[in-house]
Amino acid sequence: MLYLLHQLLDINIFQYITVRAGISFFVAFILTLIIMPRYIAWAKSKNANQPIYKHAPEGHQAKSTTPTMGGLVFLGSTLFASLLTIKYNNFFALGALLTIILFSLIGIKDDISKITHKKNEAGLSTRAKFLMQIGASLIIGLYLYFGGFMTELYIPFYKHPIFDMHIMAMVFWTMVFVSTSNAVNLTDGLDGLATVPSIFSIMSLTIFVYIMGHAILSEYLLVPNIKGIGEVTIVATALVGSLIGFLWHNCHPAEIFMGDSGSLALGGFIAYMAIITKNELLLFLVGFVFVMETVSVILQVGSYKARKKRVFKMAPIHHHFELKGWAENKIIVRFWIMALISNLLALITLKIR
């Protein structure tokens, strides 16, 4: 809408991505701060509380009265701020919005089932959730593939593509979407634990998005120049703004949880940004905390099935540290520190090519 004002009324300031990105950030941030307290009060009145997994550490049962599905608010704020500021004909920005909507719908379905039955186990089955994630991933993959998006595979520290995946890019992108959305979902187990690493990941990938959409900067840093990709910066800053507004209420002790409606959409969006910036493999650094949480679950399940022994006291790994006696705040902040450092290391790859 703001870009239309630039075209209709010749308001030049609205043609710049940086200006519209700044506006989208503050609109989403303020909107989330205004709506969230009202949503929390409404959710409490409807008993829309977070069902706690029965095998979670004992202290988590005290959180059973905390409302969930806060993702509806910060994602709604993100969509509103984005629609206010993006170019409506931009291929990549529309793909970003499509990603947020599709993955949030899966989470909404899962959250509503849990709330309705008042049991964590009453949500979508693992099989159903995977199938729906694969379906959403294929829709976005088809959108990118038939929209003419490049299918070459790039690796960190090297400026040329390794090879062209062609149609197999669809399979690869689906793996990236499903694994990343589930990784963020697994991390969402403590107050603010998934929120801040998501902010760091999105901010890092936003830098890549802006640079790759800028002809001069992309040439200087030896990264692909992808026309139109810079517009995704605006959606990303809107999401960061809304997440910061959400963190105001989600920090320990949390007044609201994001729910699967938020975590699955965050993971899907991070995956989308990695794919369009050709940084799928760099996600191991950008999303290091998410990777660590996922690997801990894989190791725990694999070890127990193979040896009938556990590697950790409990998985995901943040529960392991809880059972070791670490205070929740200490776990959260230390994971935030790891996320910050890993993202700084990821950004260094921009210059080493």
pLDDT digit string (tens) for the chain, length 353 residues: 665 555 555 566 778 899 999 999 999 999 999 999 999 999 988 887 766 666 567 666 666 778 899 999 999 999 999 999 999 999 999 999 999 999 999 999 999 988 887 776 657 888 999 999 999 999 999 999 999 999 999 999 888 999 999 999 999 999 999 999 999 999 988 889 999 999 999 999 999 999 999 999 999 999 999 999 999 999 999 999 999 999 999 998 889 999 999 999 999 999 999 999 999 999 999 999 999 999 999 999 999 888 888 988 888 999 899 989 899 999 999 999 999 999 999 999 998 87
How many whole angstroms separate alpha carbon 312 and alpha carbon 324? 10
On whether the pTM is more than 0.85, the answer is: yes
β-partners of residue 152 are 164
Per-residue model confidence (pLDDT) at position 331: 95
Q: Is the dihedral of CA 200, 203, 205, 208 positive or negative?
A: negative
Query: Using alpha carbons only, how large is the chain's radius of gyration in Å?
Result: 20
Per-residue model confidence (pLDDT) at position 122: 58
What DSSP assignment string belongs to 213-267? T-HHHHHHHT----TTGGGHHHHHHHHHHHHHHHHHHHSSSPS---HHHHHHHHH
Per-residue model confidence (pLDDT) at position 115: 85
How many whole angstroms separate alpha carbon 11 and alpha carbon 137? 38
Cβ distance 39 to 45 under 8 Å? no
Per-residue model confidence (pLDDT) at position 114: 83
Q: 253: cis peptide before it, omega within 30°? A: yes
Query: Cβ of 320: how many Cβ atoms within 10 Å?
Result: 19
Query: 76 phi and psi, to 5 degrees?
Result: -60, -40
DSSP assigned state of 163:
E
How many whole angstroms separate alpha carbon 185 and alpha carbon 267? 7
